[in-house]
Amino acid sequence: MTHELFKGVFVTVAFFLGAIFVPVVGVLISTLTPLPIIIYYYQYGRKVALQLIAITVLVVTTVVLALRMPSLFIYLMQLLLLGFICGELLTNNFDIPKIIVAACIAALVLNAVTLYMFGREEKGNFVETLEKGIKENFEQSMKQYKDRGITEDQMKWLSESLNTMVPWLARLFPSIIIVATAIIIWLNLILAKQFLYARLRQIPPPLQNLTRWKAPDGLVWIVISAGFGAFLPAHNIKILSYNVLLIMAAVYFFQGLAILGFYFETKKTPKSIRFLVYFFIFFQQILTIAVSIIGFVDVWANFRKLPESDPRDKNL
């Protein structure tokens, strides 16, 4: 068990440190930090998962302090918290939508507390404090990436984009946190499904029949209302509407992915082709939008021809 535990610690630490030592791509690698925690929690229980988290915190904190990058500690704690929540709820057979909602709430609360504490020190309003924090993190990240081989052209593009991006990032911060957390959780749970099957020869009940998931039909009215709100002159309503639309786009994006997965399984599509399709969906904006549209239209089209009373049709 000791060997297995330290193997888990090594993988968890390696995933997280990718954000520091591997430019750009490392940030994506770091989002897999919750994965070993989810797997170990489901396979070995809460005690082993907590041991894994404690040792990981000790190791990563030592590295972060040595590199004088204390801001990454909050990011670490958030990823570890997400892993623990997913492991706890998955073990207790919570549905995937409930796991994602719980994880998003936890991420919002942690970020809100962090911003509140930071804002008290800076004595500024919420948006100004948030803009300053985002800008400082961007600048720190660019400095780190410059030291690790990022090209001058990439540095120039990031610098020119900074002033345009920061105000929008600050105002869309709640929805960005929710969407990013949802995607991170979804990715880790999908991978956990594969690893748990390989290790235990069984799939946790909540991870079965994911391709049949659909959002409640009533959410379409939230999308329509937010769409109207985005065109109103009132600034606060406009910003709120943009946040709601971004969250709803993510909901229907997941529904679109479920539809694709359903047809992949039905047609017995090779895994290599599935991987390529998913890869392009996540890295080509037009394809991401197209998948969200498919999920939205499914409210009326019912592409999978799911019967209304099918108990496997899990609503959010």
Report if residue 136 sits inside a domain: no
The total of structural domains in the chain comes to: 2
Which pLDDT score, from 0 to 100, does residue 7 have?
93
Q: Among 21-35, 88-102, 131-145, where is mean pLDDT lowest?
A: 131-145
State pLDDT tens for residues 88-131: 999 999 999 999 999 999 999 988 887 777 666 655 566 666 77
Same domain as 63, residue 18: yes
Same domain, 280 and 232: yes
Same domain, 175 and 261: no
Q: Is residue 156 part of a domain?
A: no
The residue segments making up the domain with residue 120 are 2-129+171-190
Residues 183 and 239 in one domain: no
pLDDT in tens, 184-217: 999 999 999 999 999 998 899 999 888 989 999 9
In a domain, 155, yes or no: no
Could you write out the DSSP letters of every residue in the chain? -HHHHHHHHHHHHHHHHHHHHSTTHHHHHHTTTHHHHHHHHHHH-HHHHHHHHHHHHHHHHHHHHHTT-TTHHHHHHHHHHHHHHHHHHHHTT--HHHHHHHHHHHHHHHHHHHHHHHHHHHT--HHHHHHHHHHHHHHHHHHHHHHTT--HHHHHHHHHHHHHHHHHHHHTHHHHHHHHHHHHHHHHHHHHHHHHHHHHS---GGGTTGGG-B--TTHHHHHHHHHHHTTSS-HHHHHHHHHHHHHHHHHHHHHHHHHHHHHHHHTT--HHHHHHHHHHHHH-HHHHHHHHHHHHHHHHH-TT---TT-TT--B-
Instruction: Say if residue 104 is in the same domain as residue 175.
Output: yes
Grade residue 149 by pLDDT with cuts at 50, 70 and 90.
low
**Are residue 125 and residue 6 in the same domain, yes or no?**
yes
Both 119 and 251 in a single domain? no
6 and 64 belong to one structural domain: yes
Share of residues in the chain with pLDDT > 70 (%): 83
- 100 and 234 fall within a common domain: no
- Same domain assignment for residues 116 and 20: yes
Residue 134 lies in a domain: no
Determine, yes or no, domain membership for 150: no
Same domain, 116 and 241: no
- Residue 313 forms part of a structural domain: no
Is the predicted pLDDT of residue 246 greater than 90, yes or no? yes
Same domain, 183 and 256: no
Please say if the pLDDT value at position 71 is more than 80. Answer: no
pTM above 0.75, yes or no: yes
In a domain? residue 230: yes
Domain boundary among 143, 161, 190: 190
pLDDT recorded at residue 314:
46
Residue 149 lies in a domain: no
